[in-house]
């Protein structure tokens, strides 16, 4: 997840000016006292806000270690933007889809059956017509084997990105 030699999959994501602005906004929201830096706890909150998960102790240690300056006890804005840019640039573009797939795969089989798909949609979109759910299942089940693998999801994502 970090550029410190930890393995990642997918392609590097380019950090845009919009991303940098978002990093700055989150920094200022987390620097409640206006100290000009983020403490360890502030940094954890910022990562949650930006990436949707609480960093582990070792990841937080690594982030703090990479930003230590003699004159600053935490992570200053410029360093924060740089660290979050590195983190974003190596983010796995399929991670969110894997998380969604895993949430649907309540039986931990590595694939979904139509009933799993219906059950998941009943939880997240209870008013969605069953016919729509069935059509979505058939669309994603590209090999028509009655099972949705992560590969089926991945193919749909790749197709959607190629056509956007």
Domains of the chain: 17-92 (1.10.238.10), 105-162 (1.10.238.10)
CA dihedral 83, 85, 90, 94 (to 10 degrees): 120
Q: For 14-23, what is each residue's pLDDT tens digit?
A: 788 999 999 9
Residue 33 burial by CB count (10 A; 0-12/13-18/19+): exposed, middle or buried?
exposed
pLDDT tens digits along 88-125: 887 666 677 777 788 788 888 888 899 988 888 888 88
- Its pTM stands at 0.54
């Amino acid at each position: 997840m970090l550029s410190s030699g930890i393995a990642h999959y997918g392609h590097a994501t380019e950090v845009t000016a919009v991303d940098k602005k978002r990093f700055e906004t989150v920094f200022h929201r987390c620097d409640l006292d206006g100290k000009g830096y983020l403490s360890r706890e502030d940094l954890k909150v910022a990562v949650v806000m930006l990436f949707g998960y609480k960093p582990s102790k070792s990841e937080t240690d690594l982030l703090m270690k990479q930003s230590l300056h003699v004159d600053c006890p935490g992570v200053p804005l410029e360093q924060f933007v740089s660290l979050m840019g590195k983190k974003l640039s190596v983010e796995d573009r399929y991670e969110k889809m894997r998380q969604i797939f895993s949430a649907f795969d309540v039986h931990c089989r590595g694939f979904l059956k139509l009933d799993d798909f219906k059950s998941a949609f009943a939880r997240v979109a209870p008013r969605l017509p069953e016919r729509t759910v069935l059509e979505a299942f058939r669309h994603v089940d590209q090999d028509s084997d009655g099972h949705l693998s992560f590969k089926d999801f991945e193919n749909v994502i790749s197709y959607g990105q190629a056509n956007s």
